[in-house]
Amino acid sequence: MANVTDPLALNAHGTDPQLMVEKITREKIYQSRFWKEKCFGLSATSLLDRAVELSYVGGVHGSLRKPCAFLALVLKMLQLGPDRDIIYEYIHQDALKYVRVLGAFYLRLVGRGHEVYTHLEPLLIDYRKVRRRRRDAAVELTHVDELVDEMLTVEDMFDIKLPRLPSRTMLVETGQLGPRRTPLEGDIDEFENSWQSNTVEDEVELDDQQRSSPINKQPPLSLRLKGRRSKRSAAPAKYQDDEGESAPLSSTLNLPGNDATASVNDGSVEYWNEMRQKLGLEPLK
């Protein structure tokens, strides 16, 4: 009678939870020393004391197919049917990795599809190493996320046939489950926000640089051209004389009013007769 399922335990998928473990495996667990010494008289709360002592996970091993302590505690949980809040606490605590794997595997056995995905998918980012005993009794290293991924994908684990798990796509289409958010999405959102803020800051800085540039402080082209034309019309033409000094171009021409000689001879009949003679004209009378 000590191996009877607790009457208060909820049925798992419409049947006795202990029946999820094959009869041969159950009998081996009932006859094991660990079950008789460590699992006798355990309750849903005191079971944690035994779970803390776990040092590896596994099913049956060796030529005699001896059950591991992990598998015996799984059967004890199926027998007791602990409250869901206790199982969630097993899963979401971070200190004890073997307790986390124990709670996750139990929820995979008795939980519904949306419940399994909701509480097990966050464990896919737990990369801590755990020891796993194989059927040949050898111990290998694996990781928590690998075990959780195996719970979500395979049909048989730790020598127990896993219940059928609905596909995630179907649960999303029926509205029982929301779209999955991977840890990368949070990094991508953070990168996009930082990129947008940096882009806005760069545009503001570039705008400030363009406003403070000396090129933008010059007057319009039309005003600059107008100023150049006014300067050209106002300033007389100059040339460089032999001594390197600039002088008005009109001073180089022998025209009336250019120098003192012209001012003296201006209006003189002798001066104009001399000029007319050079040009082959008749002198003035």
Same-domain status, 279 and 174:
no
CA distances from 47 to 32, 54, 64, 66 (A): 17, 12, 27, 21
Please state the domain count of the chain: 2
Give the SS3 label for residue 85: helix
Instruction: Confirm whether 219 is domain-assigned.
Output: no
Low-confidence residues in the chain, pLDDT < 70: 1-2, 8-10, 183, 185-187, 189, 200-204, 206-267, 285
Same-domain status, 47 and 144:
yes
Query: Which residues lie closer than 8 Å to 190 by C-beta, 6 or more apart?
Result: none
Last residue of a domain, one of 184, 200, 216: 184
Task: Express each pLDDT in 114-136 by its tens digit.
Answer: 999 999 999 999 999 999 999 99
User: Domain span at residue 172?
Assistant: 17-184
**By CB neighbour count within 10 A (0-12 exposed, 13-18 middle, 19+ buried), where does 239 fall?**
exposed
Same-domain status, 262 and 136:
no
Same-domain status, 268 and 178:
no
Same-domain status, 133 and 256:
no
Last residue of a domain, one of 154, 184, 214: 184
pLDDT at 139: 93
Distance CA(93)–CA(144), nearest Å, equals 13
pLDDT at 262: 47
Token couple for 70: 């992990």
Distance CA(261)–CA(130), nearest Å, equals 118
Give the SS3 label for residue 274: helix
Q: In what order do the strands lie in the sheet with 57-58?
A: 57-58, 129-133, 139-143
Token couple for 251: 């001073």
Query: Which residues lie closer than 8 Å to 249 by C-beta, 6 or more apart?
Result: 236, 237, 238, 239
Pairing of the two strands 129-133 and 57-58 = parallel
Same-domain status, 53 and 157:
yes
Instruction: Confirm whether 30 is domain-assigned.
Output: yes
pLDDT at 249: 46
Instruction: Confirm whether 217 is domain-assigned.
Output: no
Task: Indicate the length of the chain as a whole number.
Answer: 285
Same-domain status, 265 and 142:
no
Same-domain status, 112 and 41:
yes
Task: Express each pLDDT in 204-232 by its tens digit.
Answer: 676 666 666 555 555 555 556 555 555 55
Instruction: Confirm whether 202 is domain-assigned.
Output: no
Distance CA(53)–CA(8), nearest Å, equals 27
pLDDT at 216: 54
Last residue of a domain, one of 122, 154, 184: 184
Shortest CA distance to 110 belongs to which of 26, 22, 15? Answer: 15
**By CB neighbour count within 10 A (0-12 exposed, 13-18 middle, 19+ buried), where does 230 fall?**
exposed
CB atoms within 10 A of CB 172: 15
Distance CA(10)–CA(214), nearest Å, equals 81
Give the SS3 label for residue 173: helix
Same-domain status, 153 and 275:
no
User: Would you say 62 and 137 are in contact if contact means Cβ atoms under 8 Å apart?
Assistant: yes
User: Would you say 70 and 56 are in contact if contact means Cβ atoms under 8 Å apart?
Assistant: yes
